[in-house]
């Protein structure tokens, strides 16, 4: 597109800038796999290997299918892939401002740009992992292909939720330095307490845990959309609008208080 | 034109402010068990280590277009903080900044991992500053950086193999590649390059500033300050204690008046 057109339109400028942050996130991914032979292929390979291994072990316990025709592998692989994204957002987010202190204290880069760069880095991992898992699921659960079209809205909710986690965890991690130490523990507890490895029906009397577990509920929106094709559009819209409003408010707060946050880093 | 009107800056020490879970837990348990000595220790600690630290105090200055100011002062006198204040990285806790902000050339970081190459650092700079939106072309930008930093094939090699001088060349080339502001705030100059680079850098910086650009340069090197600056500020303990011609600022810094100020 003509550059002058981009410069004139506020919306196109925003898209162009988002594209820049996406490229910055990709540079971070490139750096992560710089010395490996397989490079970014590892993102796909690691979720497939993990899901296959856990699928074999836990499939023996929970059975090869759940809730009818859905293969346990599909259920587990989606859960693990989506959970990895949430866990990454929590872990990277909790240390983010502290680790970016050099840039916050010595440049005028907007905090929004730093957060979006990290967010896109995590998104790229999710997209590669999720795409590869969806391709594998096509082999084991071919009939689910029709559900893939339902993915868009729940995935959007999931992404906004992850961006909010990165921002808020980083702010808390900056104010309370102990927070980053407790996050891996909390992440593990939430993971084991959520029906990710095991079917939700196994919770019996503890089903309420899944209901109050917000990360799990957001994760389940995406997983259910793929596995059953069911999407609660009202719930998704409500969460998405609330998430976007919170995000806009948060970005506005961050820009207004950049210098204050810079002082928190010192 | 930029004006600092009675500007002061405070920094907050988070650990002494008490936002520390361990400290809070000890406090709560101490109160619960009625252990008075814990609260006493805590109070004493707060007195000796206040959470609010005064970094800059009542700075009143006026910077005209084209002013070249050298910042002189011992370590911890507030030179870097005033650069950050004038660049908009910090905002004054009291007082005001009026007029144009300066572009900070403070960072010694390339904004990418050391496992990536110089060309990736140049791309990162291009994306981070949204130079495409300002009408610059990425390929043109990359070839310009490759040419100006003069590090040869190393431009395509991982940054971790760069010498300190090569790294400095690359950072300097990036920061002076595009005029993002007419006013520059530079910390400690670019002293790690070789003599040839120092001369190139001097020329580049002079042409970059032009006749209108203002410069605020903090350095311990009098020679470097003499190369670029006409006016001198002497800082001590977060206060600006002298503002005048550079040579007079050097004399003041070496005089008894500085010690008693």
Question: A149-176 pLDDT, tens per residue?
Answer: 999 999 999 999 999 999 999 999 988 8
pLDDT above 80 (res B42): no
pLDDT for B45 equals: 47
Handedness of CA A113, A119, A122, A124 (dihedral sign): negative
Q: pLDDT: is A259 or B89 the higher one? A: B89
Residues B125 and B26: beta-carbon distance below 8 Å: no
pLDDT above 60 (res B39): no
d(CA A155, CA A140): 22
CA torsion A158-A131-A22-A94 (nearest 10°) is 50
Residues B57 and B238: beta-carbon distance below 8 Å: yes
pLDDT above 80 (res A195): yes
pLDDT for B200 equals: 78
Report the run of H or E that residue B195 belongs to, with start and end. Answer: helix B195-209
Q: With bands split at pLDDT 50, 70 and 90, how would you rate the model's confidence at A93? A: very high
pLDDT above 50 (res B44): no
Q: pLDDT: is B117 or A8 the higher one? A: B117
Query: What is the b/e burial string over A22-49, where b = at least 16 CB atoms within 10 angstroms of the residue's CB?
Result: bbbbbbbbbbbebeeeeebeebbebbbe
Using an 8 Å CB-CB cutoff, list residues of chain B that contact chain A.
11-12, 14-15, 19-22, 84, 87-91, 101, 103-104, 106-107, 109, 111-113, 115-116, 120, 123-124, 127-128, 130, 132-133, 135, 158
- Dump the DSSP string for A11-52: HHHHHHHHHHHHHHHHHHHHHHTTT-SSTTHHHHHHHHHHHH
pLDDT above 80 (res B27): no
d(CA B29, CA A4): 64
Q: pLDDT: is A222 or A144 the higher one? A: A222
Q: With bands split at pLDDT 50, 70 and 90, how would you rate the model's confidence at A4? A: low
Average pLDDT over residues B118-131: 95
pLDDT above 60 (res A1): no
Minimal-distance CA residue of chain A relative to B24: A176
Q: With bands split at pLDDT 50, 70 and 90, how would you rate the model's confidence at A263? A: confident
pLDDT above 80 (res B7): yes
Q: With bands split at pLDDT 50, 70 and 90, how would you rate the model's confidence at A117? A: very high
pLDDT for B46 equals: 44
Q: With bands split at pLDDT 50, 70 and 90, how would you rate the model's confidence at B108? A: confident
Average pLDDT over residues A9-28: 93
Q: What is the pTM of this model?
A: 0.86
Q: With bands split at pLDDT 50, 70 and 90, how would you rate the model's confidence at A96? A: very high
What CATH class has B2-102+225-260? alpha beta
Q: What is the pLDDT of residues A54-73, one digit of tens each?
A: 988 888 888 878 777 788 89
pLDDT for A218 equals: 93
Minimal-distance CA residue of chain A relative to B138: A20
Helix (H, G, I), strand (E, B) or coil at B31: helix
Helix (H, G, I), strand (E, B) or coil at B105: strand
Listed range (A38-42, A215-219, B39-43, B131-135) with the worst mean pLDDT: B39-43
Q: What is the percent of chain B where pLDDT is above 90?
A: 41
Cβ separation A106–B109 shorter than 8 A: yes
pLDDT above 90 (res B109): no
Q: What is the percent of chain B where pLDDT is above 70?
A: 85
pLDDT above 70 (res B34): no
pLDDT for B40 equals: 54
Tokens representing B186 are 């530079």
Minimal-distance CA residue of chain A relative to B124: A24
Average pLDDT over residues B56-83: 92
> Which residues of chain A does B107 touch, with a Cβ-Cβ cutoff of 8 Å?
102-103, 106-107
**In sequence order, which residues have a C-beta less than 8 Å from that of residue B116 and are 6 or more positions away?**
A27, A30, A31, A34, B158, B159
Average pLDDT over residues B156-177: 90
Q: Chain A interface, mutation test: which of B127, B138, B142, B171, most A Cβ atoms within 10 Å? A: B127
Residues B235 and B219: beta-carbon distance below 8 Å: no
To the nearest 10 degrees (0 to 180), the angle between helices A41-62 and A72-99 is 130
ipTM of the complex: 0.88
pLDDT above 80 (res A226): yes
pLDDT above 90 (res A225): yes
């Amino acid at each position: 597109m003509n550059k002058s057109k981009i410069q004139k339109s506020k919306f196109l400028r925003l898209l162009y800038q988002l594209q820049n942050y996406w490229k910055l996130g990709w540079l971070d991914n490139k750096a992560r796999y710089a010395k490996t032979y397989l490079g970014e292929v590892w993102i796909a390979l690691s979720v497939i290997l993990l899901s296959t291994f856990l699928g074999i072990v836990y499939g023996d316990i929970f059975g090869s299918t759940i809730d009818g025709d859905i293969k346990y592998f599909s259920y587990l692989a989606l859960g693990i892939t989506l959970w990895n994204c949430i866990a990454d957002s929590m872990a990277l987010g909790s240390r983010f401002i502290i680790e970016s202190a050099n840039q916050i204290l010595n440049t005028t880069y907007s905090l929004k740009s730093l957060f979006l760069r990290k967010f896109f880095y995590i998104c790229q991992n999710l997209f590669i992992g999720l795409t590869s898992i969806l391709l594998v699921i096509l082999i084991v659960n071919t009939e689910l292909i029709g559900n893939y079209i339902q993915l868009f809205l729940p995935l959007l909710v999931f992404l906004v939720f992850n961006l909010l986690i990165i921002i808020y965890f980083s702010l808390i991690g900056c104010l309370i330095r102990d927070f980053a130490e407790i996050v891996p523990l909390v992440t593990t507890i939430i993971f084991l307490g959520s029906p990710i490895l095991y079917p939700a029906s196994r919770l019996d009397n503890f089903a309420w845990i899944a209901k109050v577990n917000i990360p799990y509920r957001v994760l389940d929106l995406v997983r259910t959309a793929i596995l059953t094709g069911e999407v609660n559009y009202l719930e998704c819209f409500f969460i998405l609008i609330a998430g976007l409003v919170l995000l806009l408010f948060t970005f506005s707060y961050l820009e207004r208080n950049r210098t204050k946050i810079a002082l928190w880093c010192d | 034109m930029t004006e600092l009107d009675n500007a002061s800056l405070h920094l907050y020490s988070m650990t002494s402010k008490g936002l520390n879970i361990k400290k809070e837990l000890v406090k709560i348990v101490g109160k619960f068990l009625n252990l008075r000595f814990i609260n006493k220790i805590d109070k004493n600690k707060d007195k000796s280590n206040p959470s609010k630290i005064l970094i800059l105090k009542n700075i009143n200055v006026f910077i005209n277009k084209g002013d070249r100011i050298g910042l002189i002062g011992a370590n911890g006198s507030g030179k870097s903080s005033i650069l950050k204040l004038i660049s908009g990285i910090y905002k004054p806790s009291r007082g005001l900044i009026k007029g144009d902000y300066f572009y900070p050339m403070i960072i010694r970081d390339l904004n990418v991992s050391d496992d990536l190459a110089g060309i990736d650092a140049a791309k990162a700079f291009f994306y981070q500053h949204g130079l495409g939106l300002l009408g610059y072309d990425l390929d043109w930008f990359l070839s310009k950086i490759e040419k100006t930093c003069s590090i040869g094939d190393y431009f395509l090699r991982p940054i971790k193999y760069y010498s300190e001088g090569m790294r400095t060349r690359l950072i300097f080339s990036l920061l002076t590649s595009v005029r993002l502001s007419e006013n520059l705030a530079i910390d400690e100059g670019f002293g790690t390059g070789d003599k040839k680079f120092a001369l190139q850098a001097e020329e580049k910086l002079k042409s970059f500033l032009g006749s209108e650009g203002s410069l605020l340069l903090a350095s311990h090197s009098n020679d470097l300050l003499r190369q670029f600056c006409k006016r001198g500020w002497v800082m001590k303990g977060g206060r600006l204690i002298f503002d005048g011609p550079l040579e007079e600022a050097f004399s003041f810094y070496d005089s008894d008046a500085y010690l008693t100020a």
